[in-house]
């Protein structure tokens, strides 16, 4: 059999007869699994064909409406024609547009203009932009191009540089919506805070640092630079992710504050910050609320203790003290109960017991143990009674399920070792990626382009059309 697909376009003007055009024809013989319904290449051909006919009519109608001055209604003279390329999800369109002279009643405007070019300043449809950016935040630019062109009729129109340019463009638009940076966002005085309504449960903000490979020699530490990622979680469990590149980002505090505000933060509401204790992340914990407290994330303590335990397995008992493992367990117990004094004392003794000269492993263990002791000493004011908090179901760690760094950074930025980033590129991609992981990017696009919002599902075909 032969299947012919026609597009029928009915104009709103009743007098004109419908425009009918054939867009595809498929042949089918014997039914087999391979010939049931449409093949991908046929579907792509069909989509592109339908859109070709559809857009030609749309443009024709639009151009017709533009031929009169919108102010005085005088017909506009035509200066010539030209073509404009517009990228869509279903192929790149070449649209033909007249160049019209500006009406004499508008002396301040340029002498001529192209109505079609003026309608598509971005030369891409918002939906294409949204899909490009969405997939590019989850997969590499190269895989994104491949995925979209494999499934959609958009061969030869996308390149990795276009995708990365679009990601930057969208992220910069988001960045442009962020207000000015301030050293503090605390407003009002205790008297006013006292009169506020009963606050919601504390917001829990976890902040963590990670590293990504740098593209150029612009940065410190064996060709990598730091990124900060975090989550803010309400009492009801609603989580918002965020990320930034310190040093590149000029508004880190504002960025975080807008998230807290969107989650309903009021000045008498507590915020618990959980961090790894690093300077850059600690700096971000200040200036958001008079009720903020900072806690060293228990996850980071246990992680360091696990590393120490592993290392100690490579050092014989006589070189590290026979009770090493037991004593390290006691350190953990003291820290769990906020007894920092005892924990530090014990750590010092453990250090003394190690014979650092005995082997390279022993020297490494001594060094790591010393670093851990310094870490606890520096952060001692941020070590609460984790045991009490745990029993009261208060936050002690952010890394219960999966670490934020792993989720936001590792999966997209560092999995492939050859992937290298500029600070700008990483920062901008983080803005889009957190939006995609939080499932807010589509809503953002719909806010920017209200026409994107899909109302009802497409109508069933009218009987008369068959």
Which residue ranges make up the site for Zn ion (CB under 5 A)? 69, 71-72, 74, 103, 105
Q: How far is the CB of 74 from Zn ion (least distance, A)?
A: 5
Q: How far is the CB of 104 from Zn ion (least distance, A)?
A: 7
3-state secondary structure 270-318: CEEEEECCCHHHHHCCCCCCCCEEEEECHHHHHHHHHHHHHHHCCCCHH
Nearer to Zn ion, 109 or 416 (CB): 109
Question: In whole angstroms, what is the distance from residue 103 CA to residue 72 CA?
Answer: 9
Nearer to Zn ion, 78 or 105 (CB): 105
Nearer to Zn ion, 69 or 358 (CB): 69
Please list, in sequence order, all residues whose beta carbon lies within 8 angstroms of the beta carbon of residue 441, skipping any fewer than 6 positions away. 130, 133, 134, 137, 432, 435
Question: In whole angstroms, what is the distance from residue 8 CA to residue 13 CA?
Answer: 15
Nearer to Zn ion, 79 or 363 (CB): 79
Q: How far is the CB of 151 from Zn ion (least distance, A)?
A: 47
Q: How far is the CB of 119 from Zn ion (least distance, A)?
A: 19
**DSSP-assigned states of every residue in 80-148:** EEEEEEEEETTEEEEEEEEEEEPPTT-TTS-SEE-HHHHH-TTSB-HHHHHHHHHHHHHS-HHHHHHHH
Give the C-alpha distances (Å, rounded to integers) separating 368 from 39, 264, 296, 312, 351: 60, 42, 19, 10, 10
Nearer to Zn ion, 49 or 115 (CB): 115
Nearer to Zn ion, 74 or 310 (CB): 74
- Closest to 378 (Cα-Cα) out of 293, 460, 296: 296
Q: How far is the CB of 101 from Zn ion (least distance, A)?
A: 11
Q: How far is the CB of 102 from Zn ion (least distance, A)?
A: 8
Coarse DSSP helix, strand, coil percentages of the chain, rounded to the nearest 5 percent: 45, 20, 35
Let me know: does 342 contact 332? Beta carbons within 8 Å.
no
Q: How far is the CB of 66 from Zn ion (least distance, A)?
A: 12
Which secondary structure element, helix H or strand E, spans residue 206, and what is its range?
strand 203-213
Question: In whole angstroms, what is the distance from residue 147 CA to residue 141 CA?
Answer: 10
Nearer to Zn ion, 67 or 81 (CB): 67
Give the C-alpha distances (Å, rounded to integers) separating 52 from 63, 73, 94, 416, 460: 16, 31, 9, 39, 22
Strands ordered across the beta sheet of 78-88: 78-88, 91-101, 112-113
Q: How far is the CB of 109 from Zn ion (least distance, A)?
A: 10
Q: How far is the CB of 73 from Zn ion (least distance, A)?
A: 7
Nearer to Zn ion, 103 or 167 (CB): 103
Query: How many Cα atoms within 13 Å fall on the side-chain side of residue 79?
Result: 11
Nearer to Zn ion, 67 or 447 (CB): 67
Residue 396: strand, helix, or coil: coil
Nearer to Zn ion, 71 or 195 (CB): 71
Q: If you ran DSSP here, which 8-state letter would residue 234 be given?
A: -
Q: How far is the CB of 96 from Zn ion (least distance, A)?
A: 24
Nearer to Zn ion, 35 or 74 (CB): 74
**Six token digits for residue 142:** 């190269």
Q: How far is the CB of 75 from Zn ion (least distance, A)?
A: 10
- Closest to 244 (Cα-Cα) out of 372, 375, 404: 404
């Amino acid at each position: 059999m032969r299947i012919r697909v026609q597009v029928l376009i009915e104009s709103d003007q009743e007098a004109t007869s419908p425009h009918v055009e054939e867009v595809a024809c498929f042949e089918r013989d014997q039914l087999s699994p391979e010939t049931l319904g449409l093949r991908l290449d046929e579907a792509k051909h069909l989509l592109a064909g339908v859109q070709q006919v559809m857009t030609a009519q749309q443009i024709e109608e639009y151009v017709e409406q533009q031929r009169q001055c919108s102010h005085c209604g005088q017909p506009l003279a035509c200066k010539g024609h030209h073509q404009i390329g517009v990228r869509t999800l279903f192929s790149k369109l070449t649209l033909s547009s007249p160049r019209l002279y500006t009406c004499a009643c508008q002396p301040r405007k340029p002498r001529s203009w192209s109505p079609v070019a003026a309608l598509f300043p971005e030369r891409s449809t918002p939906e294409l932009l949204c899909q490009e950016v969405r997939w590019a935040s989850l997969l590499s630019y190269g895989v994104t191009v491949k995925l979209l062109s494999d499934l959609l009729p958009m061969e030869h129109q996308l390149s990795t540089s276009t995708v990365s340019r679009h990601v930057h463009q969208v992220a910069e638009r988001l960045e442009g919506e962020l207000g000015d940076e301030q050293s503090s966002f605390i407003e009002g005085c205790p008297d006013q805070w006292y009169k506020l309504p009963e606050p919601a449960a504390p917001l829990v903000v976890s902040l963590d640092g990670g590293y990504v490979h740098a593209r150029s020699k612009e940065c410190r530490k064996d060709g990598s630079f730091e990124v900060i990622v975090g989550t803010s979680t309400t009492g009801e469990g609603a989580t918002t992710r965020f990320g930034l590149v310190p040093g590149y980002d000029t508004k880190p505090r504002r960025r975080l504050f807008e998230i807290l505000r969107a989650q309903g933060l009021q000045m008498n509401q507590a915020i618990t910050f959980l961090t790894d204790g690093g300077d850059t992340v600690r700096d971000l914990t200040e200036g958001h609320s008079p009720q903020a407290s900072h806690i060293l994330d228990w996850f980071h303590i246990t992680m360091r203790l696990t590393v120490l335990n592993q290392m100690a397995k490579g050092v014989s008992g006589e070189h590290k003290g026979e009770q090493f493992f037991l004593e390290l367990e006691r350190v953990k117990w003291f820290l769990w109960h906020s007894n920092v004094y005892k924990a530090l004392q014990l750590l010092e003794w453990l250090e003394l017991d190690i014979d650092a000269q005995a082997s390279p492993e022993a020297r490494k263990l001594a060094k790591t143990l010393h670093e851990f002791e310094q870490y606890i000493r520096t952060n001692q004011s941020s070590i609460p009674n984790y045991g009490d908090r745990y029993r009261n179901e208060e936050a002690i760690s952010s890394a219960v399920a999966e670490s934020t760094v792993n989720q936001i950074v590792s999966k997209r930025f560092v999995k492939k070792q050859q992937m290298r980033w500029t600070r700008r590129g990483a920062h901008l991609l983080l803005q889009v990626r957190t939006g995609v992981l939080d499932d807010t990017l589509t809503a953002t696009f719909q806010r920017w382009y209200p026409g994107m919002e899909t109302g009802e599902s497409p109508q069933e075909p009218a009987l008369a059309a068959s």
